[in-house]
Structure 1
């Protein structure tokens, strides 16, 4: 009889299994409690990362009508209707990380990139329309968080809407320009974008020409390059090393980068790599500002799951048709009727 066994009243050997099973049970219970605690902390941390703005309350009912989509029979529990999002890339977040990447504080915030993303009903195709930041527009009066409102401005640069009135004014200006209701708002800051690219392990981008831009510190030969977050951000911001130095050349690079990122996200296998999934989610949420309709992890995850069948090859990128502004050769204005026809197609 071993020292781990004892005899019962009939002299039979009995192993000390109840004690061993109890120890295993306690260990499993402890692991489960720890796992739940870690999962709870992770959710709380990611959810708390997100900054939001209540755009719907600020703008009220003076907006374009929402698109109405009738769900098909046996519809998925996930949303499948068409959707319009205003996506801005900005230097609005203060802090050391943004300052090192060339960003400013919230008092001098600017929107460097503006894209209207239209997702078709069924959510298997999308159109991304870039609006040049140098476009001269009529900027409507916008409500201010402190009370009151901004004055309307005529012939104002498009990106001044964000500068004077933040996300609310950016959305109102886009809706005034396009006649398209923005269902949601997403803003990514400099450091958040760079961290996302790094969390994905970098991104592969092909450029059709040499890029030599001392201001963005980017020097690339024509061809395919694997870029880390800092260089991907430089690519998104460069304008002086390509074409005529205008915003239009930069937009082409941004659109190439967006499609490369979508492909990287699609191929990353995040669901099979919890550590990488957390790193990507942390990077995304830490640099993100949304409207209140997307300001929780559950809402963002629901949106992401609804786009699972959206293949990067079915994402079309275009730029709002523009022509040189008669008043300023360094600015552009919407080219009509082509621009109006584009927005009408999205409506």
Structure 2
């Protein structure tokens, strides 16, 4: 079976940026991108709102935020020989949500959510591809890995790359099995998501009732974490803690982690909608709070330019983003672990997963729209039989 994520598609309206492809792609990262990870892109979104409706004081805050952002990721330091070539001016941003919690060591964190965001060369189309954390892939050898360098160069679940070697190894792993050049990185953790949602005054999510046998409840879904809060089915207002709780759930649905990825994508849409609502646009205090909270919540690479992102994102809306999930062969047991199977032939994935390899080709060649036209069943929230 092949599973795909949610589809939120409208007429794309990201305007071309005068500053070139880098600015356009930074825009995509800032405007769309997962749950914890993609929300980091909200920095540019808020900055764009500030530019159009918040006045000089808000715009000044955005510029200050750009200067004060924590920038620990230097992608230029990754050996060039180990990375794919850039084929055009369309750029790609890897948005990462780590499961690091306050009080726990960062060395124990894993990439709980990863979405590859792509903005086309013209800046008119934006796409997000969720990468399952349990996707079974090859993790390249990386002597500089901060944890367990001896484990690198082996096959494992995708989120092990972050645990073993942080952002650099995660980037190398994604580039290795996709062939797509990563141009920017945005990272956010649990606390960051809560900050962002609360700075917006909350979000509204359409809660999916539990359908897994052990959790079935047509009236909603009950969290298996913490205080076991109940989420009533249908549109529900959530604060940051509640939104985080909901998008962490997966066992309550038959689709498991694929349902969780879909809910993550829905949260991105909800955050964008909330940020662009009339209340946010007209409230200087809420705009300022959101900008400042977001700057505290995320980490970005050394080349991420928030101000350029703001200019490029002025017209981007939630319906302008198309979401999907990495085409895969469903779940199975490999090396004694339950995994999401990317391919049974890691050296020649085109043999049994041509949909994935052609998707990566489309991203590299900046022809994703045409790929979606040919594979409409892979853009949506349901599982589809191959």
Both proteins in one fold, TM over 0.5: yes
Indicate how the Cα distance of structure 1 residues 268 and 139 shifts in structure 2: closer, same or farther if over 3 A, else same: farther
Kindly tell me the number of residue pairs found equivalent between the two proteins. Answer: 287
Runs of 5+ unmatched residues, structure 2:
1-55, 210-219, 344-352, 365-386
Give 2:225's match in structure 1, choosing from 215, 223, 231: 215
Does the alignment pair 1:91 with 2:108? no
Residue by residue over 1:131-189, the C-alpha shift from the partner in whole angstroms, topping out at 9 and shown as x without a partner, is 11011110002252779955534330100100010111111111111110011000011
Going from structure 1 to structure 2, the CA distance change for 1:157 and 1:211 (only over 3 Å counts) comes to same
On the 8 A contact 2:274/2:280 being kept in 1, the answer is no
Contact 2:82 / 2:172 at 8 angstroms: preserved in 1? no
Partner of 1:178: 178
Quote the offset at 1:90 in angstroms: 0.9
Following TM superposition, by how much is the alpha carbon of 1:306 offset from its aligned partner in structure 2, in angstroms?
0.8
Distance 2:161 2:292 in 1: 29
Partner of 2:30: none
Distance 1:39 1:303 in 2: 13
* Whole-angstrom CA distance in 1 between matches of 2:63 and 2:119: 27
Q: Return the alpha-carbon distance in structure 1 between the equivalents of residues 278 and 158 of structure 2.
A: 35
1:56 to 55, 68, 76: 76
Q: Deviations over 1:223-249 (max 9, x none)?
A: 0011100011112211122225x3222
Cα root mean square deviation, aligned:
2.8
Q: TM-score, normalised by structure 2?
A: 0.68
1:293 paired with 2:303, answer: yes
Structure 1 residues 269 and 302 mapped into 2: Cα distance closer, same or farther (>3 Å)? Answer: farther
**TM-score of the pair, normalised by structure 1:** 0.75
Superposed counterparts of 1:138-153, under 5 Å: 138-144=138-144, 151-153=151-153
Q: Tell me the distance in 2 between the aligned counterparts of 1:257 and 1:83.
A: 24
SS at match of 1:301: helix
3-state SS in 1 of match to 2:169: helix
Pairing partner for 2:240 from 221, 225, 229 = 229
Please say if 1:305 is aligned against 2:319. no
Output aligned runs, 1:192-211, within 5 Å: 192-209=192-209, 210-211=220-221
Residue ranges of structure 1 left out of the alignment (5+ in a row) = 1-35, 70-81
Greater length-normalized contact order (CA 8 Å, ≥ 6 residues apart) = 2
Question: Hey, what's the Cα distance between the residues in 1 that align with 2:60 and 2:323?
Answer: 38
- Aligned mates of 2:97, 2:86 — CA distance in 1: 24
CA contact (8 A) 1:218 1:238 kept: no
Contact map agreement 2:58 2:284 (CA 8 A) in 1: no
Distance apart, 1:91 and its partner CA = 2.7
- Pairwise mapping of residues 58-207 of structure 1 onto structure 2 (< 5 A)? 58-69=78-89, 82-92=90-100, 98-99=102-103, 104-144=104-144, 151-207=151-207
Partners of 1:225 and 1:259 lie apart in 2 by 14
Structure with larger Rg: 1
Instruction: Encode CA deviations 1:24-63: one digit per residue, 9 max, x unaligned.
Output: xxxxxxxxxxxx9999898657633424211221333421
The farther-off stretch of 143-152 and 310-319 is 143-152
Tell me if the contact between 1:53 and 1:167 (Cα under 8 Å) persists in the aligned partners: yes
- The change in CA–CA distance for 1:252 and 1:169 in structure 2 (over 3 A counts) is same
Q: Could you tell me how far 1:337 is from its partner in structure 2?
A: 1.1
Q: Is the contact between residue 144 and residue 150 of structure 1 (CA under 8 Å) also seen in structure 2?
A: no
What SS does structure 1 have at the residue aligned with 2:222?
strand
